[in-house]
């Protein structure tokens, strides 16, 4: 599965943790769609490995499994970012 670039709004807590709150992606028509993240599980800093969607992550990759609501249906997405870069990528199941 090919990741897509995404705009992500995150909470950067004073303890240094990052938590995604909202994601925005462009649909097939080029229109932006924004979704609030309902649940989020931090899978970062667990060593280098291949994720279920085929992406390879390192110990430095910010990696989150999140749930969003799309047209009344719950959907699981994964968000990735490699600091110090500020670019986010998203895949979905």
Q: Are 87 and 79 in contact (CB under 8 A)?
A: no
Over range 36-59, report the average pLDDT: 93
CA dihedral 93, 91, 16, 83 (to 10 degrees): 150
What's the pLDDT band for 88 if we cut at 50, 70, 90?
confident
Number of H helices, E strands in the chain: 0, 8
What per-residue confidence (pLDDT) applies to 28? Answer: 86
Q: What is the domain range of residue 50?
A: 4-92
Q: How many structural domains does the chain have?
A: 1
């Amino acid at each position: 599965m090919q990741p897509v670039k995404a705009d992500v709004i995150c909470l950067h807590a004073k303890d240094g943790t990052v938590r995604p709150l909202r994601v925005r992606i462009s649909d097939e028509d080029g229109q932006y769609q924004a979704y609030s993240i309902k649940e989020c599980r931090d899978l970062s800093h667990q060593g280098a490995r291949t994720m279920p969607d085929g992406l390879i992550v390192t110990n430095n990759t910010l990696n989150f499994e999140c749930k969003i609501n799309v047209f009344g249906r719950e959907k699981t997405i994964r968000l990735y970012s490699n600091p110090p870069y500020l670019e986010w990528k998203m895949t979905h199941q």
